[in-house]
Structure 1
Amino acid sequence: MLHPERIAGLYRDACHAELDALKVGNVHAYAAGHRMEVADFARSAEVSAGPLAEAGSGVGARVLGGVAATREAVGQNTNLGILLLCAPLALAAEEGITLAAALGRLGPEDARDVFAAIRLASPGGLGQATRYDVTAEEAEPPPLSAAMAEAAPRDRIARAYVTAFEDVREVGLPALEAARAVGLDAPWSASAVHLAYLAAFPDSHVLRKHGEVTARAVRDRAAALRAEIDMASRPVAALLAFDTELKEQGINPGTSADFTVATLFWRALVEAGASLG
């Protein structure tokens, strides 16, 4: 069981480490983009850490509190996906339970708070759904597990709730361990994790905003680049070229960045003594 202040600190560290990494198509220390700056995300990490680690709070309350604090501080959505992924991890670490157990605790209040957080954040390309439409303010939303299962085929973050973070366990954590094994420092390890996610599956944010053809093309391009470069050589030029290419097309693989933060946070919690399973 980790103290909330410790959890908040590890969350902030994960967010800042991700910002220091050269993550193609996203905002990072090497380049801004999409009308956002690194400072927006750094401020978001600071103000959302408290709600994310609030003692005794449920998953939904942590997400909603973090989104509300972020909107107040920076006036835009910079971290909805991050909070959705990190809230169950924070709860599990505080309670000393597995992630699966934390996800099994989701109740009606979590659905209400998560749906409210999504409406407040207004993520790009969300659209409307025929079932479980989060844009509709229902008196009694559906169970969060059911809503996530419905969205899972088209959204990797929703899928994470259904699979107990399979993508983190099978893509992110192995990529992080491989990067560390060859001596990469924290920023370059995070860059390697991000590229691994981008190469593994079509990014959900790109899919929502640009469609399946573009999302798969970005995935294929990332996979080819990953096979060509040696991250141990710190290939700044090659990654920045792809970064510029994506940003010129308005393509922001935000879901891959969200999963990068979650991976770094997961590993930090485990190293601090959490048993996430």
Structure 2
Amino acid sequence: MRTPAQNARLALLLEVAGTPKPGNVDRRRDLADLRFEHFLAGTVGAETGLEMAQHGDQVGDAFERAIEGMAAQGGGNTQFGALLLLVPLVRTAADHDRLSPSVVESVAEGTTVADAAGFYRAFDHVDVFVDDPPADMEPLDVRRGSEAVPAIEKRELTLLEVMDRSVPGDDVAREWVTGFERSFAAADQLVEAEGPATDRAASIFLSLLAERPDTLVTNRHSQEVAREVSDRAASLVERDALETDPDAVESFADDLIEHGINPGTTADVTAAGLYIALERGELEI
């Protein structure tokens, strides 16, 4: 039987191996400076941090260590957002017989100022794309990394409160304040789907992208671009194109890669859904 930390690493591997995942690295597609192998190495590097979460370390410390290890490869940021979802899920799974939104909420609500500091220190290890904060929030700009920790401590912000301040512009943060709503829904869809786990991951990714514009695409490009991408995904899902017209999905994937459109937040939620299904024993590998 796999441990919670092992299931988290498996979820990361299954997510990146699923194909096609339009706009994202998968086993058939690389980005200009970010390759499939970087994601494999990032998963290996995250091992210690995930095991810290499993063994009861503070969420912030475990997350920082996972990011430090993940970043020890040549591609840069591979799974920052996914690990921000997986670390609290692993921490929850270690203490409860079954993952549920309510128990994950209790872990999020129990985070501290020290956890928020660990989250900020994680930005010292890797460059992460984030939008510019409002002028009055500049002292809390996550890109300042550990330099922003005194401001966090002065305002006594917990990690959950930091996540709450990032909504609605960041759908990874949104998961934290909604009981991982989309992650659990994705897990349910994965269980109901058919075929190998990697095919299911690709299918759920496309469904999630169709359901809600990706916030990373919004922040890097615009709301209009994100909506257009979501609408195109919805059209493919509506006609079950993965089964009836797989070439159309492949073409969509290639087009997003060509135009530098990367729905990375959707991939993060897909990884979290995979983890929940694996940890519950509902997705057998």
Instruction: With the length of structure 1 as denominator, give the TM-score of the two structures.
Output: 0.89
Q: Write the mapping of 1:1-277 to structure 2, written as runs, cut at 5 A.
A: 6-22=3-19, 23-54=21-52, 55-74=55-74, 76-96=76-96, 98-129=103-134, 130-131=136-137, 132-136=140-144, 137-138=147-148, 139-141=150-152, 142-170=157-185, 172-179=186-193, 183-231=194-242, 233=243, 236-271=246-281
1:212 partner amino acid:
Q
Q: Which moved more, 1:245-254 or 1:69-78?
A: 69-78
Q: Which moved more, 1:105-114 or 1:50-59?
A: 50-59
Gaps of 5+ in 2: 98-102
Structure 2 distance, partners of 1:18, 1:174, is 16
Structure 2 distance, partners of 1:13, 1:161, is 22
Q: Which moved more, 1:80-89 or 1:236-245?
A: 236-245
Kindly indicate whether the alpha-carbon contact (under 8 Å) linking 2:60 and 2:117 is maintained by their aligned counterparts in 1.
Answer: yes
Q: Report the Cα offset of residue 215 of structure 1.
A: 0.8
Number of residue pairs the alignment of both structures matches: 264
Question: Over residues 221-269 of structure 1, what are the superposed CA-to-partner deviations in whole Å (9 max), with x where a residue is unaligned?
Answer: 11111112254x3854222100111011100110111111111011111
SS state at 1:135 partner: helix
SS state at 1:72 partner: coil
Kindly indicate whether the alpha-carbon contact (under 8 Å) linking 1:34 and 1:252 is maintained by their aligned counterparts in 2.
Answer: no
SS state at 2:195 partner: coil
Kindly indicate whether the alpha-carbon contact (under 8 Å) linking 1:19 and 1:27 is maintained by their aligned counterparts in 2.
Answer: yes
Structure 1 distance, partners of 2:35, 2:59, is 28
Question: Identity across aligned pairs (percent)?
Answer: 28
SS state at 2:143 partner: coil
Q: Structure 1 residues 215 and 92, CA, compared in 2 at 3 Å: closer, same or farther?
A: same
Instruction: With the length of structure 2 as denominator, give the TM-score of the two structures.
Output: 0.86
The root-mean-square deviation of aligned C-alpha atoms, in Å, is 1.9
Gaps of 5+ in 1: 273-277
SS state at 2:129 partner: coil
Which 4+ runs in 1 deviate beyond 4 A? none
Question: Over residues 79-138 of structure 1, what are the superposed CA-to-partner deviations in whole Å (9 max), with x where a residue is unaligned?
Answer: 110110001101001122721221121001110011121353321243334334223423
